[in-house]
Amino acid sequence: MAALPDMTEMQIRRYARHIVLAEIGGIGQARLIAARVLVVGAGGLGAPLLQYLAAAGIGTLGVIDHDRVDLSNLQRQVIHRTVDIGTAKVASARRALADINPEVAVVAHDERLDAANAGRIVADYDIVADGSDNFATRYLLNDICYRLKKTLVSAAILRFDGQISTYKAWQGDGHPCLRCIFPQAPSEDAVPSCAQAGVLGALAGTLGALQATEVVKEILGIGRSLSGRLVMYDALAGTFDEVAIAKRADCPTCGAQ
């Protein structure tokens, strides 16, 4: 393991509220500064997720997105401004993160994640946070992260509902992957997009903040991981529910075969 960086006086002041937490302390904050996290999507989930990870002091933040800021994004994608309309989302995100914490190195991947580039991009990071909006990308990330032994924190939102889990089946010990829950993607008709069905703007903030919390926990090795659990949030009811996820022996990604 590489030596942890020494913190400057300014860093100690910036991260003081982390450092006084017994579960984090100076060593934990140094681990956050040394960490490399890839955020997939600079949209509804990625916006709050990136903001909180930058504020937490994650040393290197990668963000991949090939879209440009649209007026309809601004209802929930709070990292972007009205003046950013027409700008590449990764460029807008990098500008915003520099304002929050100029010490964070932001790597902008202005490209669409696919089978040709996923391995190359993911390999350069310690942990991946999935804020994508389609099953094809989620499955691709699940499979690549399993193959490259990268922990994946994944969330999804639609209408007034959200869900989140962590996948690290590569560790063994019964940890499941995404395909253990959803062996096959539902049809496009079964799961409408946010553009078709709508989404509560603040819901993206709730789930994005939860993702940031789980990423920090995984980097520091503190608390109880969401691996093996799917947490579901119903914004209208104001409730959180949890279901256990079992590893499938016949899983096409992490199963025995």
pLDDT band at 184; cut points 50, 70, 90: confident
**N- to C-terminal Cα distance for the chain?**
32
- Residue 248 DSSP label: P
CA distance 139 to 155: 13
Inform me whether the pLDDT recorded for 192 exceeds 80. no
What is the CATH code for 35-244? 3.40.50.720
Mean pLDDT for all residues in the chain:
95
Q: Residue 38 — very low, low, confident or very high, per pLDDT cuts 50/70/90? A: very high
Query: From the candidates 145, 180, 194, 251, which is the catalytic residue?
Result: 194
Verify whether residue 251 is a known catalytic residue. Answer: no
| Residue 12 pLDDT greater than 60, yes or no | yes
Three-state secondary structure call for residue 187:
coil
81-108, pLDDT tens digit by residue? Answer: 999 999 999 999 999 999 999 999 999 9
Domain boundaries, the chain: 35-244
pLDDT of 190 reads: 63
pLDDT at 188: 65
